[in-house]
Chain A
Amino acid sequence: MIRVALVGQPNCGKSALFNSVAGYKAMVSNFPGTTIEYLSSQVLINGDRFDLIDLPGIYSLSSPESEELISRRYLLREHPDVIINIMDASVLSRSLELTLELLDLQIPMVVCLNMMDEAQKKGIQIDVDHLSQELEVPVIPTIAIRGSGVTELFKTTLDIAHSMSHGKIFSFSQDIEDVVSKIGSLAHEALVKNTGSSRRFLSLKFLEQDKEFEDQIFKSAPALMPALKKLRKEISDCRGKPADMAILSERHALAMNLFEHVAKVRPRKKRSVRIQIDKYILHPVLGYVLLAGILFGLFTLVFGFGKEVEAPLLAQFERWALYLNQHVEKGSLFSFIMNGLIQGFTGGIGIVLPYLIPFIIGLSLLEDIGYLPRAAFLMDAIMHRIGLHGKSVIPFVLSYGCNVPAIMAIRILEKPRDRYITAILATLIPCAARTTIIFAIIGFYLGPLYALSLYLFNILVIAVAGKILSMLMPEPSPGLVLEIPSYRLPTLSALCKKTWFRLREFIVIAWPLLIVGSLILSLLEYFKLSGFINDLLSPLISSVLGLPEAVGITLIFGILRKELTLVMLVQALGTSDFSVVMTHAQMLVFTVFSLFYVPCLATLGMLRSVIGTRGMVLTLIFTTGLAILIALFFRIVPVIF
């Protein structure tokens, strides 16, 4: 089988290409030691098997941020058989800079010149044959989002894998080349092997002051360092600028030169309509009105639709469950197991069909059109105050409906750090289920003003928690630099594929958890273990929080699904009038605790998939600790006043 790595700059249509050929067998895999994942899929194209690896988009093979080096590490360590370098033809000159770096790796390569239609719209005419001659690798024009050119691309990939031919290595100016070969000859075999690269690549990365390569040289050959640094200084002295700048501008010049050789740009007279649109969409006043409208629209669409569908859907399942129950002995172990399974199963259906599908379609649409980076742009100043990226606003808003799609939306953030913090904060936002608890207890017994204050208090807690978390995980970069791609028309097939990929994740990861969890709770009930659980939790529930011991079990059920807390509370306390058994102060403590503690099982499942097991455990500890602290605060404060 041929291992093919897809490498390209962000927004070049790499995922569109991957999705257009990968079947539903695609798997999310993790790089060891990191939380960034890549997709890999075994595909059959024209009868040939390929192992396709969709690497995260990168602008170049040298980035100051180590997270962005994931793709480079993969290429150096795993040496794929062929690289498919996807280029966005509409920004050809910039894409060429990455291509030049990839050629230095000496791995067989095919160039996929994608978005040819976009380039034509921009007035860029590319001579494909000429480009192929210059690079000495095959160049296949494609429009991946429509699937055109893809078959030929893989046919060529197969040929290249067999012929193992490399492309051309482009030379820099003589003075730089001299230093490059001097450094190359100084580096011994073991060092080159350690880095997984070639002598040339190693030399260039050292000249670019790449931290990872410098560290590696320092580790395996510290004695070489002074001589190498002296060579690097030669370049900076001669060029009058740091060596890395010299290399970058040489590469830029090479790419520009190449671009001028192979492409012609017809100047357009009229200003692009898209820029005009952005005047309104990013307008300092109108832009925010529109953003609020779009977020509110997405929210009402998802949850309005969900509510309409969920009730009749669950009622239907209820009827089927009743029917099944007629045929088994009531109160038997079997009936408990059966009902536990049914509950977990319908719980999943209750989330998936009504809420997830409209949400995923809505989010994918916003993503494909290109609105998400613009929303991030607008929200950046505000989110920055709590140390986050503007894009985090989307998971936050969605969280008020349901945490599960919110956690899923965290994938739109690129950096693991931002994902971590946003994920933890998003789970603190009261979802629809927790909203019912707040309304039914606080709103009903203490009044709507208390309920509203609780919401405001929640936002305050999130802002403070965000501030603390971002201080614990400081951001290395000084500010926002975000490419804002042109608007694009989404296509139905890409939308469907994306929706399916995301939906599948929930079905495979979160749903089984829900079913198993519900089965366990059912067994707890059968074996009458709730008293035991209450005893176990009593130090926390009654001693620390000062709540009736009987509510312990309700919080365990709340982990399965938050709305169960309320249902179980009626059962545990033996009355639906909570004021008989709980004081107002106790109600406040109870509600605050159930608002902040452990997110529900489905959310935990998604957390594990998005930010890894460690992240999930961290969230568990953080939210529980926070819940105890805040509940304790609410217990003590009324006593003082």
Chain B
Amino acid sequence: MITTLDHLKDGDIATIHEILGGHGIRHRLNNLGIHPKDQVEVIRSGYLGGPMFIKVHDIQVGIGQGMAKKIEVEVAP
């Protein structure tokens, strides 16, 4: 099933399908080591519009929900 990252819950694991944002977002995520086909784990989802805490490879990243909406992920059924 394909959804966006902001919909995932605590402990969910998914594969990044596509990054929907423009040039700026692609570069920022790439710089942090987040690419399509990478596996992403949600350690803590966002509350009250706050950011979510994710792990990609061994890198932990805090990411705002606005950004998370632009990351399309594939969740294993």
A interface vs B, CB < 8 Å? Answer: 59-60, 62-65, 90-91, 93-94, 97, 122, 208-209, 242, 244-245, 248-249, 252, 275, 278-279, 282-284, 373, 376-378, 380-381, 384, 476-486
Contacts and interface: CB of A to CB of B under 8 A. Distances in A.
Secondary structure call for the B interface:
mixed
Given A377-B53, A478-B66, A64 B58 contact: no
A484 B53 contact: yes
A489 B45 CA distance: 27
Contact of B43 (A97, A122, A278): A278
A2 B41 CA distance: 45
Given A64-B24, A248-B26, A91 B61 contact: no
A248 B34 CA distance: 11
Nearest to A380: B51
8 contacts: A59-B31, A91-B33, A244-B27, A282-B44, A377-B51, A479-B64, A479-B66, A480-B62
B32 A59 contact: yes
A478 B23 CA distance: 12
B49 interface: yes
Given A94-B57, A122-B58, A279-B44, A63 B27 contact: yes
Contact of B33 (A94, A242, A478, A484): A94
Given A63-B31, A64-B27, A242-B23, A278 B64 contact: no
Interface residues of B, number: 34
A80 to B, nearest CB: 22
A484 B27 contact: no
Interface of B: 21, 23-33, 35-36, 43-44, 47-51, 53, 55, 57-67
Contacts of A378: 50
B61 to A, nearest CB: 6
B53 A278 contact: yes
Nearest to A376: B62
A59 B59 CA distance: 13
Nearest to B11: A279
A213 to B, nearest CB: 13
Nearest to A60: B31
Question: Lowest 4 A-B CB distances belong to which pairs?
Answer: A479-B64, A59-B31, A381-B50, A94-B33
B51 A381 contact: yes
A486 to B, nearest CB: 7
Contacts of B67: 478-481
B29 A481 contact: yes
Contacts of A482: 51, 61-63
Contact of B48 (A279, A381, A481): A381
A167 B23 CA distance: 30
A480 B51 contact: yes
